[in-house]
Structure 1
Amino acid sequence: MSTVQIMWQRGRVTAVDAVADSIAKITIVTDTPVRPEPGSHVDVRLPSGDVRSYSVVSGGADGGSITLGVHLSPTSRGGSTYMHSLRPGDELDITAPLQNFPLRVGAPSYVLLAGGIGITAVSAMGAVLRRMGSDYRFVYVGRTRSAMAFLPELEELHGDCLEIHIDDEGTGLDVTTLVEHVDTRTELYMCGPIRLMDAVRRAWSDHTLPTPNLRYETFGNSGWFDAEEFVVAVPGLGLTTTVGTGESMLDALERAGVDMMFDCRKGECGLCQVGIASVDGQVDHRDVFFSEAQKTDSTKMCACVSRVAHRPSDPGARSAPGVITLDTP
C-alpha cells in the first residue's frame, strides 16, 4: 500500500534526452511540488486511459520537478511508446510520487543491485547513502555498456563503491558470489529482470539470510521465454480468447468481458491470480508474488504479467500456440 495518498495533477515535459540504447530521460515539472523519496514512483495516465508506473530517478531540490528513465520496450503495450513520443512542452496527467519501495535508513550496511532499467528504482537510494556516508556497495548489471543508463553519472558519484558487471565484456555478475559476501546485518535492495531477481532470492534462501533484509521492486515485464501468442479458455464462462504478444492475459480477459480483480499490474500484489485447470505448454511465471514451490506446482498464476510458452519436442517443428484452461476467475 502506498504511503502517499494518490493525487493526480498536470505535468509539463521540460526535457527529453537519450541516456542509453532505447532509454530516455524525461524531466517533468508538476503543478504541486512534492519532493520524491528514494524508491518512489509515479503513475502516468495514457491517452487510452490506461495507467502505467515509472520509477523516479531524481527530483528537483524544490520538489517541483521529477526525472524518469523509460525504456522503450519492443513489446510495449502503449506505455513506453507513449512516453518516448513526449517532447518538451507536452502535458500529461501524472500522480504525486508514490512509495512502495522505501529505503530504511540506519542499517549497518547495504547492497544496491540494479539490472538494466532497474537502475531507475535504486539510483536515488544510492545518492542518499552516498550523502549520509553509509557503508554500501552499488552493483549495476547490464548486457552491454551502451544499454546502461546514467552510467557516467553513477561512476562519478560513487567511485569505488560502484561495481559494474557487463555480460558482453565477460564481467557478468555471479549471483552466488554476491550473496556469499552478504552478512546477516546487510540489507539488499534490488530491481531488474525477473531472472536476476529470482536467482538472488534463491541464493538468499540457500544462505539462510534474513528474509526481511531482501527488498525489491519489479516491472513484471521479463520472463524466461519471449512473449508468444497463446490461447486462454474459461469453461465456466463459456469463453475462449487469444492473448496477443503485446498484451497481458489480464488485458485479454478484460477485453473479452471478464470482470477481473487487480491492482499493481506488476506481478507483486497477487490480486489478479487465477487458478489453472490445465495447460498445454509451459507457464512462464513473471511475478514475484508466488514462491518458487508455488511456481513449480503451477496451480495458479498472476494474470497481469505471467504467460504461456509452447515449446515443441521437435526443434524443427513449428510451435503451435500454447493453451491454458482456467478455473472461473
Structure 2
Amino acid sequence: MSSNPDDEYRTRSSGGASAPAGGEGEQDLLLTAKTVAADGVVVLTLRHPAGAALPSWEPGAHVDLLLRPDLVRQYSLCGDPADRTELRVAVLRETAGRGGSAYVHDELPVGATVRVRGPRNSFALLPAKRYLFIAGGIGITPIVPMLAAAEAAGADWRLVYGGRSRASMAFRTELRQRYGDRVSIQPQDETGLLDLPTLLADPDPDRLVYCCGPEPLLGAVQDNCRQWPAGTLRVERFAPKTFDEPVRRESFEVELARSGRTLTVPPDRSILQVVEEAGIPVLSSCQEGTCGTCETAVLGGTPEHRDSLLTDEEQAANDTMMICVSRSRTPKLLLDL
C-alpha cells in the first residue's frame, strides 16, 4: 500500500480484470498486534475475535478498513494467503495526508475492534515463466505475497526494491534473508534512483513486470516499458491520475437497466452521487477511481473513462466503468444497475 496521502489505494492499472478474492462482506476483527516494520511504517495483524477462519485471498488483494464512519482506507494484504487465522496490512504514516495513517499510527490501539470489508483483488498475480518485481517504498506490501507465490510456482523471478533510505524500507531484512540475491535493496540515499533503462532494456514476452510505488516510479517504469509486449506490465497506483476537462461538459443521462429508471447527471455531480441520491445502493469506497469497488457494467452508450484502474484494452472495450469518476461521451449510458 503508501504515497497517496494516507490512502494507500491499490489499483490494477495496466493489470487484468478485477477478480474478487474471498468475500465482499464486512466483519469486525480484533487488532491483535501492531509492530514497527520500518521508519514510519507499522504492520497491523487482524484476527477474528472468536478464532473463526477469515476469508480466503490471493496475492495482490486488499481490504477496506472502516476506521470511523467518515474514515475508510484501503490497504494491501502482506501476510500469508494460506494462513486463514489473520490478515496483515502495512500502513505508512503520511504527514501530508487526510488523517487515515495518523489515526492508525496514533489512535488505533492493540485490542481495538476494526471493521473490515473484503478482501478483493484488483492486482492479481498472473501465471508466467518469469517475473520482474519493482517496488518503491511502501509499494512493497502487495509484492511480498507475490514473491512467495512465484517461488512456490518455481518461476524465475527478481525483485528490485527502492526507497528513500534503508531504514524506511519495510520487510527489507526478511526478504533478503529468505530469498538472497534475487532481492536487490537499493536505497536512494545510497545508490540513487533505480536504473530503469538498464533494468527494462530487453523486452521479454515471457516475463511479467509487476510494479507498485509512488507515481514518479510508475510513470518511469511505464515509459521504459513502451517497447515491451502489451499486457506484460502490471502497475498498482496509490493515487488517481490527473485528467483534463471531461470531453462532454454538459449533462447526460444514465438509464439503469435493472432499476428501470433514467437519471440526469449534471456536470458537477458524478454518476455515483446521482445514483445514490436516487436511493439506489451501490458499493463504493475510494471515490477516486482507484479501488474498483464501484465498477459497473456498461450495456449501451460510450463511457469516458477517467479511472486509474482499467487497462487501455479494458477501457477500449467500453463494457465496464468506474462510476465514481468516469463520465459519458454520448448523450446517454445504459448501465447494469
Considering the TM-score relative to the shorter chain, is it more than 0.5?
Answer: yes
Amino acid of the residue matched to residue 175 of structure 2? L
Alpha-carbon shift at residue 36 of structure 1 (Å): 2.4
Amino acid of the residue matched to residue 172 of structure 1? L
The secondary structure found in structure 2 opposite 1:96 is: strand
Superposition pairs of residues 105-124 of structure 1, within 5 angstroms: 105=127, 107-124=128-145
Match of residue 96 from structure 2? 75
Cα deviations by residue, 1:270-305 (Å, 9 ceiling, x for unpaired): 98xx99xxxxxxxxx9956698xxxxxxxxxx997x
Match of residue 98 from structure 1? 120
| Greater Cα offset, 124-133 or 213-222 | 213-222
The answer for unaligned runs of 5 or more in structure 1 is 224-233, 237-252, 276-284, 292-301, 305-329
Match of residue 7 from structure 1? 25
Q: Kindly tell me: are residues 288 and 100 of structure 1, through their superposed partners in 2, closer, same or farther at Cα, counting changes over 3 Å?
A: closer
Number of equivalences = 264
Cα deviations by residue, 1:179-200 (Å, 9 ceiling, x for unpaired): 1144121101111011111111
Match of residue 163 from structure 1? 184
Q: Kindly tell me: are residues 78 and 48 of structure 1, through their superposed partners in 2, closer, same or farther at Cα, counting changes over 3 Å?
A: farther
CA distance in 2, matches of 1:210, 1:50: 40
CA distance in 1, matches of 2:324, 2:126: 31
Superposition pairs of residues 1-329 of structure 1, within 5 angstroms: 1=18, 2-30=20-48, 32-59=53-80, 61-84=82-105, 85-105=107-127, 107-205=128-226, 207=227, 209-220=228-239, 259=274, 263=284, 265=286, 267-268=289-290, 287=308
Amino acid of the residue matched to residue 19 of structure 1? A
| Structure 1 contact 194–286 (Cα < 8 Å) conserved | no
Give the structure, 1 or 2, with the largest relative contact order (CA under 8 Å, sep 6 or more).
2
CA distance in 1, matches of 2:309, 2:225: 14
Q: Identity of paired residues, percent?
A: 31
| Structure 1 contact 14–28 (Cα < 8 Å) conserved | yes
CA distance in 2, matches of 1:37, 1:110: 17
Cα deviations by residue, 1:81-139 (Å, 9 ceiling, x for unpaired): 2222322110011023211111112x111011111110001110011212333200111
Q: Greater helix share, 1 or 2?
A: 1
Alpha-carbon shift at residue 54 of structure 1 (Å): 0.2
The answer for unaligned runs of 5 or more in structure 2 is 1-17, 243-248, 252-267, 277-282, 296-302, 313-322, 326-337
Match of residue 7 from structure 2? none
What TM-score results when the alignment is normalised by the length of structure 1? 0.68
Q: Kindly tell me: are residues 162 and 40 of structure 1, through their superposed partners in 2, closer, same or farther at Cα, counting changes over 3 Å?
A: same
Q: CA RMSD in A?
A: 3.8
